[in-house]
Structure 1
């Protein structure tokens, strides 16, 4: 029974020893990584529109999210009404009184002049009667007071006519201008808050994932979409310490993977200053326990999907 067992085990041992002594791969291992961004409104609120779908390509500036803006629109309408009212008051003050108001002031002045004439005549008669001894001093004093009152009324009506014919005072106009400017500043703030209820795409991108939908609440910490912008996929690779001097920034490497186009290359863009003892993701036993430097490289053509394992080697 011993010979058959040895006959089976010896070939297996030979294969294992041959595997242990197999030549080490000379290429580099890595993976494609995407710089995803999350799209969230600046203000919390209910989603009313979220038209994009997962996998869809969108252009920069495309509307991604709209929130309920009823309160913001109402506040904006109220401020617009305040601006209209203040502007109307300013225009009215600048133009002065209208023709009907001036005509009414003139009528009042004519009435005051007529009353003044009657009072003057009554005073003169009273003076004559008092001189002849027909009326008392009290009657004369009453007539004198009535005439003086009529004179004062005429002066008042003349001043009133002058006032209605003039535009508003400069300080009153400045106050109205300041009121209009303050309302216009509030309008800009209200328009900004309305605009915040609409979120657009910051760049050309692909919708990687939709996180929230119409009717749900979204806000600064509650994103609606996760996007992968164009050009946001790069290669992450790990350079063994002995090869570091041969692979500086700017080196071009050939890339092989299941999803890679033939002839795809990358260019090393950054290399970490500190080393790691093993890559965080190991793609082969041959890369274990190496002192490696994490590096990033930019694809020279269309990249594979994020997460794709890569095998990279210097171009001949």
Structure 2
């Protein structure tokens, strides 16, 4: 009986050691992943110059590349010329008639005043002659009518001079103002299109990969750079199903890798709801065919380069 008990204990010992080993093996596997930004121009066109190279650091607003802008420069010049023309028409309408037209109206008024003066003298003489009986009533009436017509002519010419001095009607001025506003809007649109031929860095980042070079065609579906923004590297972790309950969101993990500084930690930020089989990149004799949950974690500082394999353990 004692021999059987001893044999049973010896047979159970390897199983117990295996179980203990499985329980103490808390190392998780993962890798560093970058949140890359793919930089492409809004409109297609030929690249004239690329200002950055792979590995370069760029600051937000730095020029990355320029495209041929011949058509956009011409469109801006045309739009600016239309503004100048519309503004000149408005200024002309606001100023009223041109100087020669005003001077012609003044000449007509001077002629009317001279005729009025002659008619007034003629009426004065005719009234004296009529009083002495030298002319008839009909003759006096004719002279008086001529004087009245001369007065009316003066009033007409004076009004004409005032009119030519006036600016254009209010509705005409509003139409010209609208024309100027439309030309300015076209100018702004042309300037925007010209500015879009130069692409700048949207954030502080490092040039991870250059996809196209000067002389090549670039466009919305033909990007030029892949950028890795600062602090845009996170850890992708695969949590075995049995360990899921002990590693909730917010858990801190120690990280070790060839490029990791001592004491580097990550904090679990998200965990997928559905399990998956261990990805092929993590296959090993112990890892394959296990169900794992994909999680993402934030580095506390100094993240390693994207693609770096990671080994992680719960922080004490």
Aligned to 2:272: 272
Tell me if the contact between 1:269 and 1:296 (Cα under 8 Å) persists in the aligned partners: yes
Which whole-Å CA distance do the structure 1 matches of 2:175 and 2:181 have between them?
A: 10
3-state DSSP of counterpart to 1:259:
coil
Tell me if the contact between 1:48 and 1:66 (Cα under 8 Å) persists in the aligned partners: yes
Which whole-Å CA distance do the structure 1 matches of 2:259 and 2:95 have between them?
A: 77
Deviates more, 1:195-204 or 1:84-93: 84-93
Deviates more, 1:160-169 or 1:25-34: 160-169
3-state DSSP of counterpart to 1:286:
coil
Residue 214 of structure 2 corresponds to residue 198 of structure 1:
no
Q: 4+ residue stretches of structure 1 with deviation over 4 A? A: 111-119, 149-159
Aligned pairs (5 A) from 1:132-281: 157-158=157-158, 160-281=160-281
Aligned to 2:298: 298
Matched length: 273
Q: List per-residue Cα deviations over 1:150-201 (Å, max 9, x = no partner).
A: 9998787555423212121111111111111111111121111111111111
Aligned to 2:29: 29
Residue 71 and residue 306 in structure 1: after superposition, are their counterparts in 2 closer, same or farther (change >3 A)? same
Residue 204 (structure 1) shift: 0.8
Residue 205 (structure 1) shift: 0.7
Aligned pairs (5 A) from 1:61-140: 61-111=61-111
Residue 242 (structure 1) shift: 1.1
Q: CA RMSD in A?
A: 2.9
Residue 265 (structure 1) shift: 0.8
Aligned to 1:125: none
Residue 202 (structure 1) shift: 1.0
Which whole-Å CA distance do the structure 2 matches of 1:100 and 1:252 have between them?
A: 89
Residue 107 and residue 213 in structure 1: after superposition, are their counterparts in 2 closer, same or farther (change >3 A)? same
Residue 108 (structure 1) shift: 3.3
3-state DSSP of counterpart to 2:281:
coil
Aligned to 1:5: none
TM-score for both structures, normalised by structure 1: 0.78
Which whole-Å CA distance do the structure 2 matches of 1:153 and 1:83 have between them?
A: 43
Residue 283 (structure 1) shift: 4.8
Tell me if the contact between 1:29 and 1:283 (Cα under 8 Å) persists in the aligned partners: no
Residue 88 (structure 1) shift: 1.9
Which whole-Å CA distance do the structure 2 matches of 1:280 and 1:189 have between them?
A: 51
3-state DSSP of counterpart to 2:294:
strand
TM-score for both structures, normalised by structure 2: 0.78
5+ long unaligned stretches in structure 1: 1-16, 122-148
Deviates more, 1:171-180 or 1:92-101: 92-101
Residue 152 and residue 68 in structure 1: after superposition, are their counterparts in 2 closer, same or farther (change >3 A)? farther
Q: List per-residue Cα deviations over 1:28-83 (Å, max 9, x = no partner).
A: 01111111111100000111121101011111111101111111111111111111
